[in-house]
């Protein structure tokens, strides 16, 4: 595999089961450099599990996961993060009791050299690094338009902003691959449009490749270059988003047999 055109992330026949439940039944797909890939599917179809395998939280029973052509199967999440992967979580995973600013600063962890002695001798050892990283963080705060809430405790701001802070925390680590797990869950139309804009801008200005799990089909068709549809741990359709979600197998998975037949006959527009 040539390293220049290697896919950012590729899963090859990934299988995973929890006890008797086969959560992933041989998933094979790849994320190409610079694309926004949508991962959709009904509840329990294995989307988050796929992401968890790709980021090292689960070790697959079979199959390989590659990042830029390098095998990362079974490597711990913190190692994978250092190879340029960042992600957000379906249920917010912000650090409570800390300010928005500190939450985003944690995102710079892999670019810093934390030490206890450096903490004791802050003025001589750590200050310069802290302030340098602060500048990078401020760039992202500006990019995500979080200036006016940067000193707020993260638990008091509204959900829409919390999601934005989490996205900022992921972006600030300067990832090559950004994985977003339902970044728009529970949001109103306006907040969704904001996030969609930030995702497109992130690719445009920062050159990140994005894998996004999303339930809002309007968002998927609007911002994704490609979509992969999962159902019961299998890929049932993939390709251009509009075409992929219109396939009979997908309609059947979401709406049932009858709806799929009606669409097949050209009943529903």
Partner 1 sequence: MFYRRSGIRHTRYQSERQLFPLGFDRFLILSVLAVLLAAPFLFDRLYVTGYLLPWLIWSSAALGLNLLMGGAGQVHLGYGAVMAMGAYGSVHLMRFGAPLELAMIAGGLISASVGIIFGAAALRVKGIYLAMATLAMQSIVDFVISQTPAISGGALATLQAPPARFLGISLSGERETYYFALLVCAVITLFMLNVRRTSFGRALAAIREKDYAAEILGISTLRYKLMAFWVSSFIGGVVGSVLAICYLRAVSPDQFHLDLSIQILAMVIVGGLGSVLGPFFGAALVLFAPILINNALGSAFSTFGMTVPIDLRAHLPLVAYGALVIGFLLYEPYGLAKIYSNVRTYLLVWPFRHAQR
Name the phi and psi angles at 74, rounded to 5: 80, 5
Instruction: Write the interaction track for partner 1 spanning residues 156-195; mark x where CB under 8 A is met and - where it is not.
Output: x------------x---x----------------------
By CB under 8 A, the residues from 54 to 113 that bind partner 1 are 55-57, 76-78, 80-82, 85-87, 89, 93-98, 102, 105-110, 112-113
| Angle between the N-to-C axes of helices 189-206 and 127-143, in degrees from 0 to 180, rounded to the nearest 10 | 120
Q: Which is nearer to partner 1, 62 or 120 (CB)?
A: 120
Segment interacting with partner 1 (CB under 8 A) among 22-30, 36-44, 121-129, 228-236: 121-129
Q: What's the half-sphere exposure (Cβ side, CA atoms, 13 Å) at 116?
A: 0
Name the phi and psi angles at 18, rounded to 5: -105, 105
9 scored as a contact of partner 1 (CB under 8 A): no
153 scored as a contact of partner 1 (CB under 8 A): yes
Tell me how far, at minimum, the Cβ of 234 lies from partner 1, in Å.
26
DSSP H or E segment with residue 12: strand 9-18
What distance in Å separates the CA atoms of residue 239 and residue 78, rounded to the nearest whole number? Answer: 31
**DSSP assignment letter at 227:** E
What distance in Å separates the CA atoms of residue 136 and residue 172, rounded to the nearest whole number? Answer: 7
Binding site for partner 1 (CB under 8 A): 55-57, 76-78, 80-82, 85-87, 89, 93-98, 102, 105-110, 112-116, 118-120, 122, 126-127, 129-131, 133-135, 152-153, 156, 169, 173
């Amino acid at each position: 595999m040539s390293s220049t055109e290697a896919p950012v992330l590729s899963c090859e026949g990934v299988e995973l089961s929890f006890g008797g439940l086969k959560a992933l039944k041989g998933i094979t797909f790849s994320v190409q450099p610079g694309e926004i890939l949508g991962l959709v599917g009904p509840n329990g179809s294995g989307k988050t599990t796929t992401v968890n395998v790709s980021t090292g939280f689960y070790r697959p029973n079979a199959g390989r996961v590659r990042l830029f052509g390098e095998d990362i199967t079974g490597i711990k999440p913190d190692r994978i993060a250092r190879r340029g992967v960042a992600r957000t979580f379906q249920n917010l995973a912000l650090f409570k009791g800390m300010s928005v600013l500190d939450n985003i600063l944690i995102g710079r962890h892999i670019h810093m050299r934390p030490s206890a002695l450096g903490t004791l001798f802050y003025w001589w050892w750590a200050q310069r690094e802290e302030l340098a990283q602060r500048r990078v963080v401020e760039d992202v705060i500006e990019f995500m338009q979080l200036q006016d809430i940067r000193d707020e405790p993260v638990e008091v701001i509204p959900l829409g902003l919390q999601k934005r802070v989490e996205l900022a925390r992921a972006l600030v680590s300067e990832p090559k691959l950004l994985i977003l797990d339902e970044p728009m869950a529970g949001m109103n139309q306006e907040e969704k449009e904001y996030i969609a804009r930030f995702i497109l801008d992130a690719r445009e200005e920062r050159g990140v490749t994005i894998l996004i799990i999303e339930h809002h089909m309007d968002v998927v068709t609007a911002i994704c270059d490609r979509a992969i549809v999962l159902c019961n741990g299998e890929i049932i359709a993939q390709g251009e988003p509009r075409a992929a979600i219109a396939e009979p197998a997908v309609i059947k998975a979401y709406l049932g047999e009858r709806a799929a037949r009606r669409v097949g006959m050209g009943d529903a527009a």
